[in-house]
Amino acid sequence: MKKIVLFLASLLLIITIISCDKRQPIDANLNEEAPSEEVQKESKKANDFFDVSFDTAVKRSPIWMSYQGVKDKRAYGLWDEVSEEAAKNDVKFYQSLLKKAKDSLDYNKLDKTTQISYKLFELFCQDNIEQYKWRHYNYPVNQMRGVQSSTPAFLINIHKINSYDDALAYLNRLEGIQKRIMQYISKLEKNEAMGVVPPQFVFDYVIDDSKKILKGKPFTNDGESTLYADFKKKVNALDIKDGKKEQLLLGCEKRLMVNVSPAYQKLIEFVEKQKERATTDDGVWKFDKGEEFYKYKLKSMTTTNMSADEIHNLGLKEVERIHNEMKAIMAKVNFEGTLQEFFVFMKDKENSQFYYADTPEGKKAYMDKAEEIIDAMRPKLDELFITKPKAKLIVKPVEAFREKSAGKAFYQSPSPDGSRPGTYYANTYKMESMPKYQMEALAYHEAIPGHHMQLSIAQEMEGMPKFRRFGGNFTAYIEGWGLYSEYLPKEIGFYQDPYSDFGRLAMELWRACRLVVDTGIHAKQWTREQGIEYYTSNTPNSDDDCKKMVERHIVMPGQATAYKIGMIKILELRENAKEQLGNKFDIKGFHEVVLTNGALPLDILEDLINEWVEQKKK
């Protein structure tokens, strides 16, 4: 089922609570004649097909069924298969879906909205088919989302225990971890046979994450292990007899010792040996057909045909522009010195003006302030948006078992049934990586008006097929909106503190540098150290930030280029619309088109905005 995982991994960030509203995607061609009965019939047939296809795909993946909150829990205690046979079956599945769409649907008889869905469904299937070719060009264990950390994170955050049967399913999944990790070890072996081995730095993170899972009861005597504590908390909340609770807890201990411990020990043993065979070559240029693979990744992530050189040069240009804007803020705060000296000043982790203390109290203060920032934004949404999300949002620190390797912040969407809220995760592992002056921009990006709002609205558009509401692997759109959401609040009066506005620019600068370093590592054969040096010389971020980002580039080639390219396109479309419409331009209407059609390739988003502009002219 690895193929299903690859398909559904892109959906992981965008599951949100289903609204009771019958919201519809905005139609840019409001004055068109009503579609004929034939068009209505064919469009309904197509949308029914898209929904059945999506439901079938979900049912092929026990993991995704849990994310979706599917009521049928017959697979609730299972993991997805990760094998060559499963990968072959998955690609056949998408090939069959594509063939059925072409054979059974008449594109020319679909209404305009459904024609867009048809194009997206084609892209959706084609991308999953093409991923099969590159299925060994990845690192199944890595510091960002490797099996060693994603498995416990899934059990803790996704597997709910609302009944005795749910608890038994959790135990079954604990038992299944042994098979799951052995399948991943087999994949690591197959990848290595293809010449794909993670660079040396990855292995220490994987080993550290794995050892943390085996710390505490029942493995050691220092407290309770992460998984045991999670299971115990969930079981103790059940309204069942104490005897049954004790039975379940004993079952948990047994499976942790008999299944989980040996599995993780074997994983640790394998990666320790593979580390000895690894090199310090970091870019995908080192792979057979590495250049072709990176070209595919850039196209997939940016939904453009931009070359690595074009992206690299765009990054250099943006870095220079943002540096100049930062110098204006330096003058505003009366700082005398160079920009690099200002960066050093802003990096002083002992300065309480810029950093919370690296203590439990300091970390709590950070989380409280993050909630305050989000609460201040909520009443302002009416100034910018017509459609707003219904899903709940919480702020939560990254869990201890994965905080060392995880990024500084990320978002996890709610479940469709509302049992799990949307979550803005902030990583308080090292407070020097979480400066106060970046807090506003970070919260706007991950929460509102960023990912939480964007992805909830997509979920709530019941007039669209499910694969568009719950999915879409169009990273440039998704992350472009996130970065655009950092800038948007400035236009309505936020970032009053010049240091906070500097933090906004620092976050944008960070994404501009990504264009330079990602292409530098994977296309220009930069070393990890060269990438780190570029970040430390050109940004005010901590050394740890810079190291983590370069390491992210290495294990997720191309992904980080999507943010800036997506933001630039959204701003370009907005400015073009303003120029053409003058006083007829409506920011709410613009955002309505952008947000109520789900994730899109940038060229299709451009088509929709251009159609909206033409309609507004009339």
pLDDT in tens, 37-91: 999 999 999 999 999 999 999 999 999 999 888 888 999 999 999 999 999 999 9
pLDDT at 405: 74
Question: Quick count: other Cβ atoms within 10 Å of Cβ 615?
Answer: 16
What is the Cα–Cα distance from 214 to 212, expressed in whole angstroms? 5
* 10 pLDDT above the threshold of 50: no
pLDDT grade for 2, boundaries at 50, 70 and 90:
very low
Nearest to 587 by CA among 600, 579, 578: 578
pLDDT grade for 542, boundaries at 50, 70 and 90:
confident
* 429 pLDDT above the threshold of 50: yes
* 22 pLDDT above the threshold of 80: no
What is the Cα–Cα distance from 287 to 197, expressed in whole angstroms? 9
* 1 pLDDT above the threshold of 60: no
* % of the chain surpassing 70 pLDDT: 94
What is the Cα–Cα distance from 495 to 60, expressed in whole angstroms? 46
pLDDT grade for 26, boundaries at 50, 70 and 90:
low
pLDDT at 462: 82
Query: pTM of this prediction?
Result: 0.88
Per the CB < 8 A criterion, the answer to whether 26 and 596 are in contact is: yes
- What does the pLDDT look like over 479-511, one tens digit per residue? 999 999 999 999 999 999 999 999 999 999 999
* 27 pLDDT above the threshold of 90: no
Beta carbons within 8 Å of 489's beta carbon, 6+ residues apart: 377, 380, 440, 444, 449, 495
pLDDT grade for 413, boundaries at 50, 70 and 90:
confident
Encoded amino acid at 190, one letter: K
Beta carbons within 8 Å of 92's beta carbon, 6+ residues apart: none
